[in-house]
Structure 1
Amino acid sequence: MKHLLLTKFQGALIGGNLIYLDRYQIAPNQLIMNTTPALIDGINYLTFGGKFAIEDWSKRVNPDLNNSASALIAMLPLMLFFHEDRPKLREVVINISHEWQLDWETCSSAVAIGYLVSRSLTESFNTKTAISQLLDEMTNLHPLIFQELSTLDRALAGSMSLHQVERRLARIEQPVITSVLLAMSSFMATPEDFSLATRRVAKLETRSLLACALTGILAGAHNSLSGIPLNGYIATQERTQWQALAAQLLNAWAGVDLQHPQPPDLPLAIAAPNVIQRRG
């Protein structure tokens, strides 16, 4: 892998926590900071809650359900935890959306963002094919999202500028859809450059804190913690906590029992199935 999965988890969590304007202007992203308790609760449940249950997780995690942006961001731990199984991830996101009684626009937006996060974490992201694959795999998206993603696919192929995409999206009346599409556009235009992707979306006239947070999440998951500029990393509040939570979530994903940790003299090894044989 190009980047360790741990640093990709860290990149996604920390990347959504800052607005990187330039080397001299870095500000915490207040939207995702306001969602911090829900993110921590979601990670803790996945780590210590035993067998995952949709109803239990949705009750344990309490974002502001009157705010679509907060509900969408609160699903980030699920996007990271189920990243290897996209059909399962889609199912979980839809079921959580139903439990929280979210609208179709927010549910579809979460499905689309989760898809790109999954592609980046599994290192199968390709700018030229990502949207067409998303439309093929993630069925039952909101018609407006489906339509605009198809247009965005053609726009990226034709090198349409982000400002041109912004002008087109300005007519959309659903803010969450606009924010998601702007984040996807900014990230996919320069997927290997965290600072440029996040800086461009932050300087748009129609930018929202959600668009900034999602761009940081997508770019952070793709480029990992090492792709976040050092001054941006240093400016991020509670960065140490996010790194610890990322490690905690990775251990849970890998099947480590944190309630009954292994003895310190027994090293932990994580690899693909059938790569490491049983100890004799």
Structure 2
Amino acid sequence: MLYSPISRFRGTFLGAFLGVSLASGGMQSQSYLDLGRMAILGTESLIALGKLDLDDWIARQQQESLHLIATDDISIKIIIATLPVALFFHENPIKLRQNLLLVLKIWEDDPVVRDGTLAIAYAISLALTEKLNPLTLIPQTISFLGETPTSIPKKLLAVQNLLEQGAGLSRAQAEFAKKEKLSNTIAMAFYCFLSTLEDFRLALLQANRNSNPKVKEVTSLSSQATSAITGALSGAYNGIGGIPVNWQVSLLQRNSPVWGLTSFSQMLQLIDAFVAVWSGVYDIALNPRELTEEECEVALLSVYAAPRVIRSR
């Protein structure tokens, strides 16, 4: 395996966060602060229960008054919110699809949001399992979507045509700068990712080339969406090691609140705990009453599992 799962998990979350941060130009509006909060709540739910529980997801959102209403930013919030599900079930395409469709029921049923979520999650799945081939990603993704009335497959094919022709960023922007916002945003993110496959920095810079935080809010949200999706895709593919060190150091030095968490360090700790639950690690600290003090001392030196539970992934 080229990169460890924890590197790719961290890369996905951090990539999405950096994408939003760059697109916002450092202006921490309420939209910016709330954008990934639902993803954090979903991650905390998966850590606590070790499975997807819609009632728990809804309860956590209601507790923090994160009720989605019909605004321009609803689509990108939903897509970012489903990233934990994409990561948690990335090994099994069938379960991945089933659980994504299940969690999408929490919000308004929009076919474009559904197809966009499935497309992004499937690309992340291939990246994490090291099966992502840039030449076949788009046909595979369209096949994963199946029959659909949305324009997402058509937009993705347009991306493939641009890449095959060696088209530059300006042409891609002209192709997808049209009124149907979300499908074009997703297509633009795939272009930025695939045209700079192994360069996280360049992928995000491309996604943010025309972003301007001083323009009207809808344009700002569109830029954040493109940048966040590009960052998540490139982060999953390149891992945290592909993210420029100076960007990571800057976040650690500032250590400011991140999507409802108290600091960037807390975000990294949350991702590590998420990977631990996904991998099946048993955390004694979470279940101290199940073991006596003497058993805990022994357990700290040993690893236990039921027969055939520990296996190669």
2:182 is equivalent to residue 182 of structure 1: no
Q: Is 1:212 the counterpart of 2:248 in the alignment?
A: no
Counterpart code for 2:3: H
Q: Give the corresponding residue for 2:245.
A: 230
* Structural RMSD (CA): 2.8
The residue type paired with residue 251 of structure 1 is: A
Cα offset for 1:99?
2.7
Distance 1:266 1:29 in 2: 45
Q: Is the 8 A contact 1:64 1:70 kept in 2?
A: no
Q: Corresponding residue for 2:68?
A: 65
| Percent identity (aligned) | 27
Distance 1:223 1:122, change over 3 A: same
* Cα 1:18/1:147, change in 2 over 3 Å: same
The DSSP-based 3-state class of the residue aligned with 2:302 is coil
SS at 1:18's partner residue?
Answer: helix
Task: Say which of 257, 264, 272 aligns to 1:239.
Answer: 264
Structure 1 residue 268: deviation in Å? 7.9
Q: Distance in 2 between matches of 1:235 and 1:179?
A: 28
- What is the aligned partner in structure 1 of residue 300 from structure 2? 264
Q: CA deviation at 1:18?
A: 1.7
Query: How far apart, in 2, do the equivalents of 1:35 and 1:224 lie?
Result: 22
Distance 2:100 2:187 in 1: 18
Query: Which sections of structure 2, spanning at least 5 residues, go unmatched?
Result: 212-218, 257-262, 289-295
Matched residue, 1:254: 279
Richer in helix (by share): 2
1:105 aligns with 2:132: no
SS in 1 for 2:105: helix
- The more displaced of 61-70 and 186-195 is 61-70
Instruction: Letter of the 1:253 partner, please give it.
Output: W
Which residues in structure 2 correspond to 1:92-241 (within 5 Å)? 92-171=99-178, 173-204=179-210, 208-236=223-251, 237=256, 238-241=263-266
- Which 4+ runs in 1 deviate beyond 4 A? 25-32, 61-64, 271-276
- 1:77-119 deviation digits (Å, cap 9, x = unpaired): 1111011112221222222222312311111111111011111
Measured at CA, do residues 48 and 131 of structure 1 come closer, stay the same or move farther in structure 2, by a change above 3 Å? same
**Distance in 1, Cα, partners of 2:101 & 2:32:** 21
Q: 2-side partners of 1:46 and 1:28: how far apart? A: 30
Of the structure 1 ranges 97-106 and 213-222, higher mean CA displacement relative to structure 2 is found in: 97-106
Question: Which amino acid in structure 2 is aligned with residue 201 of structure 1?
Answer: A
Distance 1:61 1:141 in 2: 30
User: What is the Cα deviation at residue 60 of structure 1?
Assistant: 3.3
Q: Tell me how far apart the structure 2 counterparts of residues 268 and 194 of structure 1 sit (CA, whole Å).
A: 39
For 2:215, the equivalent position in structure 1 comes to: none
TM-score if structure 1 supplies the norm length? 0.86
How far 1:49 moved relative to its partner?
2.0
Q: How many residues align?
A: 271
Q: Secondary structure at the match of 2:143?
A: helix
TM-score, structure 2 normalization: 0.77
Residues 50 and 272 from structure 1, CA distance in 2 versus in 1: closer, same or farther, beyond 3 angstroms?
closer
In structure 1, distance between residues paired with 2:67 and 2:201: 29
CA distance in 1 between counterparts of 2:209 and 2:149 reads: 28
CA distance in 2, matches of 1:150, 1:36: 29
Q: Give the superposition deviation at 1:65.
A: 2.4
Give the letter aligned to residue 264 of structure 1.
Answer: L
Q: Which has the larger radius of gyration?
A: 2
Structure 2: distance between partners of 1:196 and 1:227: 11
Q: Structure 1 residues 268, 192: CA separation in 2 closer, same or farther (over 3 Å shift)?
A: farther
